[in-house]
Structure 1
């Protein structure tokens, strides 16, 4: 323990940096566990759709959606999500909703908006459509 204190007093910048990184990691971990929105992988998405009648919501642009999308998914623009306009999804509030974007980065914001709008089981596809394609899973055009 004395060595840690000696290191901390001799290297205050490194110690502060380490403490900041540890705090951010802990915050990120706790936030993920407490969030209503969960991340699912390709297999979990398939199970949610097949067993629980889940709905896949693709938030990519309409042109990207037309080039290829997960079979059975519905396209919903980011603009409609920002306006809380969830056309065609009103009857699916109690079903699992899986939000898909290109790489899994922008879907979290849309999923949080849907959770705030009253959707009970909202998830995000980890890795997005790129991960789906990378696994050679079926794509509709």
Structure 2
């Protein structure tokens, strides 16, 4: 006990550094970590997850995940193509994952508690050699 009192600065530094190391993990767990392509496929197959591509229509036409619905990020709120069952898992996809992250936050505010992002976006999907479609021009 005497050591703690005499070296309170060291103890404070140790506690502070430990808190800083744990903070990113706590934030990630509250927001839901990004899914790998394999995890996304498991959600689709096991829990009937809905795939939503939040890219612009021209990006969606160029290439998208097979079976995905296109709902651009700007028109996401209140879109008629959103699943009516808010308990279904929703996997959000974009080119890199950035727009999908914003879309997931929006959907969680709307009550879709299982809205998750495909980490790495279309690039990670392609890198995993998973099916990609192109829309007719």
- Smaller-chain TM-score bracket: 0.7 to 0.9
Tell me what 1:72 maps to: 67
Superimposed CA distance per residue, residues 15-62 of structure 1 (whole angstroms, 9 cap, x where no aligned partner): 9xxx79x83x53322111122x33211111111111111101101111
Shift of 1:73: 0.3
Alignment partner of 1:63 is 2:58:
yes
TM-score by length of 2: 0.78
**Which of 49, 64, 73 pairs up with 2:44?**
49
Alignment partner of 1:131 is 2:124:
yes
Paired residues for 1:78-117 under 5 Å: 78-81=73-76, 84-117=77-110
Alignment partner of 1:32 is 2:28:
yes
- Maintained 8 Å contact 1:59/1:101: yes
Q: Secondary structure at the match of 1:98?
A: strand
Aligned pair count reads 123
Structure 2, unaligned stretches of length 5 or more? 1-6
Structure 1: 4+ residue segments shifted above 3 A: none
